[in-house]
Amino acid sequence: MSTTSQKHRNFVAEPMGEKPVTELAGIGEVLGTRFVNLGFDKAYVVLGQFLVLKKNKELFIEWLKDSIGANTKQASDCYQCLSDWCDEFL
């Protein structure tokens, strides 16, 4: 497995709760603002979309690129973060 960021490790280390969307790995202030403008204000709302897309990496990454303009690295980091969180808590 590739090395993960501190942000990724922090996110996966505890339950989702009411974490803002910017706590997701790969999602900074700019992408976070775009998410909020689309109604995705909390990490659990993005998790819902992740689950609706059946945890499919390609579909989720394309959705992030299309909806908020994430680049491939940002989208992959976010995917991996949610995937690892699901492995830990679901």
- Give the mean pLDDT of the chain: 96
Per-residue pLDDT, 55 = 98
Does some domain include residue 65? yes
Domain that holds residue 32: 6-89
CA-closest candidate to residue 79, choices 4, 26, 9: 26
When pLDDT is averaged across residues 72-78 and rounded to a whole number, the result is 97
C-alpha span between 69 and 38 (Å, rounded): 12
What CATH number corresponds to the domain at position 15?
1.10.150.40
Closest-CA residue to 21 (of 73, 64, 72, 84): 64
Domain for residue 1, yes or no?
A: no
Q: Give the tens place of pLDDT for each residue, 9-50.
A: 999 999 999 999 999 999 999 999 999 999 999 999 999 999
Domain membership flag for residue 11: yes
CB 48 within 8 A of CB 40: no
Count the domains in the chain: 1
pLDDT at 78 over 80: yes
**What pLDDT is attached to residue 1?**
46
Contact 36, 16 (CB under 8 A): no
